[in-house]
Chain A
């Protein structure tokens, strides 16, 4: 049995993204969830599966209580940080296909301006206890510092440059300027990137994603039901998650330049039955600029080591051969744990992408990256 074409994203919802929201993370999740459920043409009481996202996510019970859901048939978690959203979609489709439930809500929301920043969160997670014990006391605290050695190794082995990182940052910003719900609203240049202060060498400030407040949510249903729902069906053709070698410690990973998505991508492409040249639009998890190019390599868009030159020449820009992060991404739209990437792909395939619409987009892909290198990807198709 394959999940090819069995499930669809039938509802999408987002709040405003901002640097500081007066609403709690749960309020933001509720707002986004109500929007996604309405977008799917459903009543909240029709939700019978819930997969909350993120360690700040409210438990399924909180949604049951607040929506008065009479019969929740299924709930689960996908603990992969920024790869959890796609992991949750995979779980949802499998559960629906198995007959466990009909409509799965995937809610996410965060209020980081009032709570723990990314640097602190990792060290509260038991699966990274050894990083907290052996690396944190030395001053290896935040993801920027933990991920930087992967980028540095890539630069030393393959000649990848900070100017190539800048291509990614500038492209994401250009796309964010087309998005009315983007936190960043001013254009940047390659020179701005090069002049931005060093955070964790080789990562400059403009290599790092935003910390954002907001909420985003999805509804997943069967493709059969989706064809009777309000919007054009966006079905999931291929989906997979992959865990990197040494998933709890980057330091101990044999190949620092290979992420979990390297294991997921061949499975997702084979399931979908499409090739790289079929991809009209890509939403690629961009917690850091380097992580975008590493995923492009790991997915097979180019050879290992060629990600830097691959992103040059406007390849990822709207109008280029592989328009990427048409919403502005985590780097410039907002950091919503990659749920905003899934929302944007659905929008593109509904042909509701506004000023950032890729004309005639039929097939697209979305990736997630989380924690110490977990990866996930989905290939979706209109129709």
Chain B
């Protein structure tokens, strides 16, 4: 088995999506907002679905939200994730409105429930990618 086959999948952003990853690298959850009507959206898309403006700006979110749902992975569908099992993926309602998917930090596992207040961090992984990991939001 080649090391190539074991490598974790990494994001391949288009130029339109790059600002999100630039934000992640410096620890911020950066969301697209419509430049005309100011509504936030995630994941990135070309057109504002409310006013159809194609102009957007990127704004750092508070990074805070609440758990909407989750799953705990017990089977590695890709060999690169095998050593991390079990891991929890949380779907989070961000304070700004859109949702985000991220890992739940194991320290919050015992408290996991719908509505649990969480805040995002972006630790850099071995592949050099900064991905969202949610911690308990003690200030909520």
Seen from chain A, the residues whose Cβ lies within 8 Å of a Cβ on chain B are 117, 119, 123, 130, 132-142, 144-145, 148-150, 152-153, 156-157, 197-202, 249, 251-252, 256
Q: Are B113 and A139 in contact (CB under 8 A)?
A: no
Provide the residues of chain A in CB contact with B103, threshold 8 Å. Answer: 138-139
Point out the residue from A140, A199, A249 that lies within 8 Å of B75, measured CB to CB. Answer: A199
CB < 8 Å neighbour of B70 from A133, A137, A149, A199: A149
**Residue in B43, B71, B114 whose CB lies within 8 Å of A134:** B43
A130's partner among B43, B74, B84, B100 (CB-CB below 8 A) is B43
Taking the nearest CB of chain A, how far is it from the CB of B67, in angstroms? 10
B72–A201 touching, CB < 8 Å = yes
Contacts A119-B78, A138-B103 given; does A150 touch B69 at CB 8 Å: yes
Roughly how many angstroms separate A197 CA and B103 CA in the complex, as a whole number? 22
Alpha-carbon distance A157/B69, docked complex (angstroms): 10
Residues of B close to A149: CB separation below 8 A: 68-71, 89, 91
Q: Is B13 an interface residue (CB 8 A)?
A: yes
Chain A residues lying within 8 Å of B91, measured Cβ to Cβ, are: 149, 251, 256
Residues A200 and B74 in contact in the complex (CB < 8 Å), given A139-B89, A252-B42: yes
Q: Does B137 contact A (CB under 8 A)?
A: no
Contact B114 A135 (CB under 8 A): no
Complex contact B73–A256 (CB within 8 A): no
Known: A130-B43, A149-B91, A156-B113. A135 touches B101 (CB 8 A): yes
A153 with B68, Cβ < 8 A, contacts A138-B101, A139-B87 known: yes
Nearest chain B CB to A195's CB is how many angstroms away? 14
Shortest CB distance A277–B (Å): 33
The smallest beta-carbon distance between B121 and chain A, in angstroms, is 13
Given A119-B78, A145-B73, check contact A138 B102 (CB 8 Å): yes
B16 CB to closest chain A CB (Å) equals 11
